[in-house]
Amino acid sequence: MKLSHRLEQINRMVTDHYDHIWDCCCDHGFLGATLLQRGAADTVHFVDVVPSLTEALEVQLARFLPDFLKGRDWQVHCMDVSTLTLPESPGRQLIIIAGVGGDLTLEMVQAITLSHPNRELEFMLCPVRQHYLLRQGLIHLGYGLVDEALVCENKRFYEAIHVSSGSNQVISPVGDQMWDLSRALDREYITRTIAHYERMGRNADQEAEQILGYYRGLLAM
Ligand SMILES: C[S@@+](CC[C@H](N)C(=O)[O-])C[C@H]1O[C@@H](n2cnc3c(N)ncnc32)[C@H](O)[C@@H]1O
C-alpha cells in the first residue's frame, strides 16, 4: 500500500511490536492497514466517528486483506476517540492520532489519559497545526518524549510526536531532537512559524511573544 509521505513517516516511527495499535481518526484506514500488513501489532484497531467510513472500511478489510490476515487480528470501531476504553493487557498498546487539529488531538489525549488512571499510555501524534499547544498540553499531562520528526507534505509542515507516560525524556515546547538546521526545510518551517507568531504578537498577544522567543532561539543555535 502506497502511503502519503506523512503517513509513511509515522509508519517508520512505529519500530516496536505492540499487543494493540489504535489507528484513531483512521478515515480510509491506510496507516492501520499498513501496520496490520507488516505485523506491527497482534491486533490493529481502526477508529473513526463517521459510520459510512467505518462500514466501508470493514468491507474493504474483509475483502482485500484476507490472505495475509492469517493469525492477525483487526477490529473496526465507530466511535468518538475521546471515549476509547483500552482493554486490560499486560503488553504495550500504541494510540495513533493523526490528521486532526492539535486542539482536538489534545482533547482526545486528555480524555483518554483521564479515563485510564495508573496505566502506562503511549501515543503517536501528528496534528494539523497547533503543535505548540499540543506540546504544552502533553508536558502538562506529564508525558515524556520517545521520538519526534518534522515532515513536509504538499508544502505543509507536520510534527510527528511519539510520547509515553513511561518516558522521562523532557518534551520541548518547540521540538528538540527533530531539528536538523543544516536542512533548508527545517529553517523554512521555523521562519514561517516565527512570521505566524509575529502577526499574533502585533495584536499584543503576550503568549505569542513568549513563543516567538523559543522559535527565535532555535535559529540562533
Ligand atoms: C483527515 S482524516 C485523517 C486521516 C488519517 N488519520 C491521516 O492522518 O491522514 C480525519 C478523520 O478524523 C475523524 N474524526 C474527527 N473527529 C473524530 C472523533 N472525535 N473521533 C473519531 N474520529 C474522528 C474524521 O471522521 C476523519 O475521518
pLDDT in tens, 109-144: 999 999 999 899 999 999 999 999 999 999 999 999
In whole angstroms, give the CA distance from residue 84 to residue 18: 17
Most informative mutation of 6, 25, 104, 107 for ligand 1 (most atoms within 8 A of CB): 25
Look up the pTM and report it: 0.95
Atom 7 (ligand 1) nearest CA:
99
Looking at residue 7, what is its pLDDT?
Answer: 98
State the distance from the centre of ligand 1 to the C-alpha of 71, rounded, in angstroms. Answer: 28
Local confidence band at 62 (pLDDT 50, 70, 90 cut-offs): confident
In whole angstroms, give the CA distance from residue 56 to residue 41: 22
Atom 9 (ligand 1) nearest CA:
99
Local confidence band at 209 (pLDDT 50, 70, 90 cut-offs): confident
Looking at residue 70, what is its pLDDT?
Answer: 56
Closest CA to 84 of 7, 4, 24: 24
CATH of 5-175, one of 3.40.50.150, 3.40.950.10, 2.40.160.100, 3.50.50.60: 3.40.50.150
3-class secondary structure, 168: coil
Of the spans 42-51, 71-80, 205-214, which averages the highest pLDDT?
42-51
List, in sequence order, every beta strand (DSSP E) within 90-155: 93-101, 122-128, 144-153
**164 near 171, Cβ under 8 Å?**
no
Closest CA to 127 of 118, 119, 136: 136
Residue 49 Cβ < 6 Å to ligand 1: yes
CA angle 98/131/80 to nearest 5° reads 40
Cell, residue 63? 475483502
Residue 100 Cβ < 6 Å to ligand 1: yes
Residue 209: alpha-carbon gap to chain centroid:
27
3-class secondary structure, 132: helix
